[in-house]
Amino acid sequence: MSIKTFFDFCSGIGGGRIGLEQAGLICVGHSDTSRLADTTYNLMNENEDKNYGNLKRLTKEKLPPFDLLIAGFPCQSFSVIGRKDGFEDNRGQIIFHLSRIIKEMQPKCFILENVKGLVTHDKGNTIKVIINELKECGYSVTYKVLTSLDYGVPQMRQRVFFIGIRDDLGLSADEYAWPSSVPIPELSNFLVDNNKASEERLEILHYYLNNPTNKGKYTIDDLRAMEGKILDTRMNDLRIYDGKCPTLRAQRDGILYVRDGEIFQLTGYEALLLQGFPKECADKVKEIVSDRHLLMQAGNAMTVNVVKAIGLNLIQFINRGEK
């Protein structure tokens, strides 16, 4: 009854895939509609398995068998920074196509990921609908909000993860042990590029320092003295972090940090490292994929470390039920 293979739906650039491969599983295929993301995915992964394309068009006859399904389904519909349209937004409908595939393929288990805002969207009604939908496919289901900061990267990324176990395996998802936290590594180990803030970016920073929210609090020289600090401009606010990075997002003006008295802009390469992508994978795309696209793609990815930790515990849990 052990699990050996998985299929990577809504694959993006492959954070989920790499995490499960690090846990010892084998990918048999992936599905994504973004050409740019798939280019990065293929550059990182030496095994050139097939991209099966739009999952809305996939049926049992078109897919290979697999033991585990993983998907970070589109989150803009449920995010607190999005319009929060939920099921009214076409992207929010992807979950129903995933549940159809789960029902048709009947994998032994699944891992689904979305933004933390899904838990409270529509006063909790949305997540109830999703849980019921997945249970009707023949699975016991549990979920939990996890923070990447607890799993080996200094990034404050909060995401809700769903675990589903097929009913006939005789295991309840409620008994699944979520992975334990590990110490936070040094942020400086991830800020390794040499991308000094551009004049344009410094002008934007000046604007934030002089807006009504921040006027009189700091000067540029004050910030340059904040060695090792992360500077994040969002909305009208300037936020300063020590030893950790705020959540990476696909749409963001840019995170800054201070090193040796200089202000640097976070690069796409550094964003990949903060998402747990191995250095050898990040190296493969650094000079090929544009920095702007890498920043966006990293912001949309799953944190590799979190998926690996979930996967290892899930494999152990499923194996526990072997007869």
- Please write the tens of the pLDDT for every residue from 120-148: 988 888 899 899 999 999 999 999 999 99
Q: Hey, which residues does 162 pair with through a beta bridge?
A: 112, 143
Predicted TM-score (pTM) of this structure: 0.93
Read off the DSSP letter of residue 180: P
**Mean of per-residue pLDDT scores for the chain:** 91
For the segment 161-184, the average pLDDT, to the nearest whole number, is 97
pLDDT of 81 over the 50 cut: no
Our answer to whether residue 75 is catalytic in this structure is yes
Q: Which amino acid is at 130?
A: I
- The single residue of 27, 75, 109, 137 carrying the catalytic annotation is 75
Q: Which residues contact 100 (CB under 8 A, 6 or more apart)?
A: none
Confidence of residue 251 (pLDDT cuts 50, 70, 90): low
Query: What pLDDT, on a 0 to 100 scale, did the predictor assign at position 2?
Result: 86
For the segment 78-85, the average pLDDT, to the nearest whole number, is 49
Structure tokens at 98: 């995933």
Structure tokens at 35: 């050409």
Q: Which amino acid is at 250?
A: A
The closest of 273, 318, 259 to 23, measured between CA atoms, is 318
Confidence of residue 86 (pLDDT cuts 50, 70, 90): very low
Length of the chain: 323
Cα 19 to Cα 305: distance, rounded to the nearest angstrom? 6
Q: Hey, which residues does 239 pair with through a beta bridge?
A: 232
pLDDT of 274 over the 50 cut: yes
Query: What pLDDT, on a 0 to 100 scale, did the predictor assign at position 131?
Result: 94
242: exposed, middle or buried (C-beta count within 10 Å: 0-12, 13-18, 19+)?
Answer: exposed
Query: What pLDDT, on a 0 to 100 scale, did the predictor assign at position 46?
Result: 77
Could you give phi then psi for residue 291, rounded to 5 degrees? -60, -40
